Structure 1
Amino acid sequence: MGTNTPATHTDRPLAAAAYMICAMAIIGVIDNFIAPLSQHIGLWQFHLIRTLFALPLVAMFSLLGLGTLFPNRFWAVALRSLLVAISMLFYFSALAMMPIAQALAGLFTSPIFILLITSGIMKRRIGPWRVLAVGFGFIGIILVLQPNPADFDWSIFVPICAGFFYALGAISTRSLCSGESTVALLAGMLITLGILGAIGSITLVIFPVWQPGDEVQFFSRPWEWSMQKALPLLLLQAVGSICGVFMIIKSYQLGEPSYVSVFEYSVMIFGPVYAWFAFGQPVQGWQILGIAFIALAGIIIAVRSR
């Protein structure tokens, strides 16, 4: 087995789109269960236990010939893993405290941050279309998050922080980890989340900040030994996320990246629709318009990046 995920030399755009849409459908559904999961265990315990469940599945990917578990450049994979892991900490925290439409909107600001970072810090030239995309994206963020100046809540920045660190992770994937196996990158992210979960769990045991009655405080909830109610949701997250990521990998193998990435925005349909269907979580008209603006910004950036 080589160090890279096997390449597909013949593009199959319809199959690539189908794999990505299926992946986003899975992720859009399972991420809705973070809020009920947060009633039983905390953020740090969630990531540690999910890693323990998911790593054997990732190892199976390697045994099936989808790539090696061992990175070529440990430091590069470690840096990329840390950035993506921080993003996921912010994202899952947002899922526990706000509707999924708002959490996803914040995470999908990442293409806008990628553009701003590559142009402002890396000094790469961007054209008027992508400048327009940033404007569309900013309007979309305002419409979805709907900050109220009279009653400002700092929590609206949590999903935006997820998008920022996800953008840094995406930039490091392309600039530092282009020769790495996808399986190694996935394993690195899971291991990093597991380590952070262990550190957070131990810290909260030594320095508890949680009080009885704070069940909704996903971020500060300490270790819960009684996990009977949480285990089905943890298994759902572990299996669902790995299956979703596998389909994402397959999609990028079969299709051109700038084409495939557009279909990632379908999660902003699947997630809120399932939240409305299963949990009665409403999405306001202005938020739907904001989601459309953010998706449009991502599509413009993807198309102009060809």
Structure 2
Amino acid sequence: MSYPATVRAVEARAVAAIVIASLTIALHDALVKRINDELGIWQLYLLRALFALPLLTALMRMRGVSLRPRRAGWVALRSLLMVTMWGFFYAALAQLSLPVVAATAYTFPLLLALMAAWLPEEHLDARRLLAVIVGFIGVLLMLRPGPEGLSPWSLLPLGSALCYALAALVTRYRCVDEPPLVMSLGLNLGFVVAGVLGLAVVAGIDAQSVTAQPFILSGWQPVGAGLWSLMALLGVLIVTASSLTAQAFQQGRPTLIATCDYSYLPFAALCSGVLVGEWPGPATLAGMALIIGAGILAIHARKGERPE
């Protein structure tokens, strides 16, 4: 099928937006991995949001977007799922390499394919079932289950993928008319709430437990000029990535943009190697390739889609 030149131009901009967003969030995640022994997750949630929220508010005022969500309850549920998703992702990141965590978390299209069997608008056909099986094999290659290969931390990226898939369903069926910046604002407000509550809970944790799991159980740590600058950079990166992602999915065909979104995985591997010194091994690369292929297969299982 051929598309008009204007449609192709718009989709070219959408593809550029999602690729830049993927690189931006990969850089963001590698920087989080780099500092996870200096700052706890709850303080990270709070400090990053303190920079992201003013930037989001300014963007919304510039574009005339109301700060009030149209469906506050569903936006709140989506924010809870996304905050939990990032929590699982970051907790796994403290124990596993970024390429492994990223590729395992990107099984969310496969989980969506399984969930499709329960939706009246969708169904689980043979092609999607094959995608799920191939993706599962890819996860097994990376996590290497066995007495020495598999740990409870390996399950956290799968929990992250599940939360992301559920958030995607809420976005598609309950928040479809919400402006993307409003959902981003809700997410960062969720980070503030989670950060404050998390810091309150870990305040009474004994020092021995904190030493065992510093990223999850650390309370408030002194923040120098370098960390403040990094928090500002992380705030800009996450707002930039979320805005570009929303723009891409609004302007391009979902199957095309979702396929290009897999560019995050090689970007994550590159940023992990350059910034953290963790380069993926052969098994990780093979598993990543299987997950990418399975995700593309699942995404394109639905036929007859037309550009909007």
How many Å separate the matches in 1 of 2:64 and 2:18? 18
How many Å separate the matches in 1 of 2:183 and 2:141? 34
Q: Measure how far apart 1:35 and its partner are.
A: 2.2
Residues 100-139 of structure 1 mapped to structure 2, 5 A cutoff? 100-120=98-118, 124-139=122-137
Residues 140-155 of structure 1 mapped to structure 2, 5 A cutoff? 140-150=138-148, 152-155=150-153
Pair 292,158 (structure 1): closer, same or farther in 2 beyond 3 Å: same
Q: Measure how far apart 1:250 and its partner are.
A: 1.9
Partner of 2:284: 287
Q: Measure how far apart 1:265 and its partner are.
A: 0.6
How many Å separate the matches in 2 of 1:72 and 1:123? 24
Match of 1:296 among 293, 296, 308: 293
Pair 231,147 (structure 1): closer, same or farther in 2 beyond 3 Å: farther
Partner of 2:61: 63
Match of 1:26 among 9, 24, 27: 24
Tell me if structure 2 keeps the 8 A contact 1:40–1:229: no
How many Å separate the matches in 2 of 1:159 and 1:176? 25
Q: Aligned to 1:243, what secondary structure does the other structure show? A: helix
Partner of 1:47: 45
Q: Measure how far apart 1:286 and its partner are.
A: 1.5
Q: Measure how far apart 1:201 and its partner are.
A: 0.4
Q: Does 1:158 align with 2:168?
A: no
Unaligned runs of 5+ in 1: 1-8
Tell me if structure 2 keeps the 8 A contact 1:81–1:188: yes
AA of the residue aligned to 1:289:
A
How many Å separate the matches in 2 of 1:269 and 1:114? 22
Tell me if structure 2 keeps the 8 A contact 1:35–1:96: yes
Unaligned runs of 5+ in 2: 1-5
Partner of 1:76: 74
Q: Aligned to 1:116, what secondary structure does the other structure show? A: helix
Percent of aligned positions that are identical: 26
Partner of 2:259: 262
Partner of 1:211: 208
Deviations 1:178-212 (A, max 9, x none): 1111111111111112101100001111x214438
With the length of structure 1 as denominator, give the TM-score of the two structures: 0.91
Q: Does 1:222 align with 2:216?
A: no
How many Å separate the matches in 2 of 1:212 and 1:81? 29
Tell me if structure 2 keeps the 8 A contact 1:16–1:254: yes
Q: Aligned to 1:211, what secondary structure does the other structure show? A: helix
How many Å separate the matches in 2 of 1:154 and 1:119? 28
How many Å separate the matches in 2 of 1:225 and 1:162? 29
> Once superposed, what is the RMSD of the aligned Cα atoms?
2.0
Q: Measure how far apart 1:268 and its partner are.
A: 0.4
Q: Aligned to 2:211, what secondary structure does the other structure show? A: coil
How many Å separate the matches in 2 of 1:137 and 1:66? 42
